[in-house]
Amino acid sequence: MRKCYRCNIKMTEGFDLKVEGGAYGIKISDGKGVFAKRIEKPKVAICPKCGEISLYIENVDRINKQ
């Protein structure tokens, strides 16, 4: 459960982040360039009161193994 830093209430989780005009979204990678190892797509949590967003990844195990 994520809490909003501004309102201190539970955020609604599980949304995706998409680039306007494209359905491919964004991904987090380890390294630079075209062949960088992709870690995971970020998820978005939204505060239902103020609209604040928070980006997060679900599987932090992948970062710790790097």
Give a three-class secondary structure readout of 10-33: ECEEEEECCCCCCCCCCCEEECCC
- Residue 3 domain flag: no
- Note the pLDDT tens digit of each residue in 24-64: 777 777 777 777 777 788 899 999 999 999 999 887 776 76
Confidence band (pLDDT; 50, 70, 90) for 8? very high
| Kind and range of the H or E run holding 45 | strand 43-46
Instruction: Report the domain count for the chain.
Output: 1
- Residue 43 domain flag: yes
Expressed as residue numbers, the domain containing 58 is 12-64
